[in-house]
Amino acid sequence: MKNIEEEIFKTLESIDKIQPVPSNPFLYAKIKNRINQRPLPIIMPWMSYAKLAVCMLIVGFNMVTISKIYLNNSQPTMTKEELGNYLGISGIQNVYEP
């Protein structure tokens, strides 16, 4: 038992003698140098044009669809009552129209 207590005491004494390790003064310069030596990512300019083209196609398709649906001057093929019967909804009440 005495031997274990002596080892514990020696360990606790050695903890009191611990001192902080000084840092390397060139650490910041080394890190900065490594960052500067990394290869730059390859920028593909055609990707931005492709993204723009896809967005323009989507907007164009939406405009064509809206113009065909909402700007068409033809009369609707079903009345509200016929639509309600077709969908199986009876007694459609429109609260927005008198």
* pLDDT tens per residue across span 73-95: 566 677 777 777 777 776 656 65
Residue 66 belongs to domain spanning: 45-90
Say how many domains are in the chain. Answer: 1
Contact 60, 52 (CB under 8 A): no
Q: How far apart are CA 24 and CA 97, in angstroms?
A: 80
Q: How far apart are CA 66 and CA 54, in angstroms?
A: 18
Tens-place pLDDT, residues 23-65: 888 999 999 999 888 887 777 778 888 899 999 999 999 888 8
Between residues 8 and 87, the one the model is more confident about: 8
Say which DSSP state 71 is in. Answer: S
Give a yes or no: residue 9 inside a domain: no
* pLDDT on residue 54: 95
Give a yes or no: residue 13 inside a domain: no
Spatial CB neighbours of 90, under 8 Å, sequence gap ≥ 6: 84
Give a yes or no: residue 27 inside a domain: no
Give a yes or no: residue 73 inside a domain: yes
